[in-house]
Structures are given as C-alpha cells and as structure tokens.
Amino acid sequence: MMAENQDFHNKSGMYFLLGSMVFVIMFFIYVVVFHKGVDLGEKFEAPPSTDAPVYDLASEKEPWVSNENIVSAGAKIFKQNCATCHGEKGNLVGGVPNARNLVVGQWTQGEGIMNHFKVLQNGIKDAQGNQTAMVSFSAQLKPFERWAVLYFIETLTNNKSKDKPEDVASFAQTAQ
C-alpha cells in the first residue's frame, strides 16, 4: 500500500516538473520571437558633428568683455565648480544652505564684477581671518575662466554689476 502512494506522489511531481518546463520553454519562445520588448522612452541624440565650430574660451583676447560664447562657457564652468554649493541656477536649490544665493545677490565683499573676481581669486575669510567655505578658485580656474563664470552669474542675479566697462578693462589688465 505504501508503494502505491509513493508512486502517486512521484507521478504528480513528475507531471508538475514537466508542466513547468513546458511553460518556461513556451514563455521563452514568446519573449524571444513574438514580444517586441519594453519601450523605456529613451531618446538617442547623435553627438555633435565634428566639423561644427568649437569655441575656445582661452583664445578670447578680452574675456572681461561679456558675449554669448563667454556666458555659455561660464555656465559649463559654473555647473562643474559652483553648482554644488550655490545650486545649478545659483538660487541654492540643491546647494548648501549657508552659501550665497546668487540670484538675490546680497554681496558681502562689495558689489560689482571686479569685487566678485577678487572673491573667486582670494576666497572669503571670516572676521577672525579664517577661511570660510567660499575658497579661492585661483588654483582651479584660470583668469579667463573666472571672468566667464562671473558673466554667467550676471545673467542669474537680480543685483547686477554697476562697474563701468572701462574700469573693468583696466582692472582686468592686472587681475590674475
């Protein structure tokens, strides 16, 4: 009697195993042959043409005179070096709470693009002379890159520079 029950359970197990294998094989055939796949909504963009003109910020003779190319280059540099603290749009969204909101533009080191250049060059120290989180970028950014960042910030801020272009040009001749 015991052998009959054991055979019954073995047959049921065997049927279940064969049924599972048939299901898996049929499912595999369906997925490979008939199913069109899942659309993830990804859009492929071709890389820019290699014969497209490339802007070289370093070739600017007067990087302290703003133009569209300088501002565009400044946006890229800002995103790489400044957005971590100030937010991608300079408004602290995604940035560090104690950083300066560049859109509002409540400047502590003086107004104007020349003072801002000095901040990028020297950083900001507190009342005791200790370095704050706003460090010098003179080692990371060349002068023409600092000008580009500043002109990008000028497009963001509500507190625009009132420095005269001739004063900026004079300052820029000695700014390093």
Instruction: Report H helices in the chain.
Output: 2-29, 68-81, 83-86, 113-122, 143-156, 165-174
| Residue range 17-29, pLDDT digits in tens | 999 999 999 999 9
**Cα–Cα distances in Å, from 14 out to 5, 17, 20, 60, 152?**
14, 5, 10, 79, 72
- State residue 7's pLDDT score: 55
| Residue range 96-116, pLDDT digits in tens | 777 888 888 888 888 888 889
Provide the Cα torsion 113, 114, 120, 126; round to 10°: -100
- Give the pLDDT band (50/70/90) at residue 132: confident
* Residues 152 and 74: beta-carbon distance below 8 Å: yes
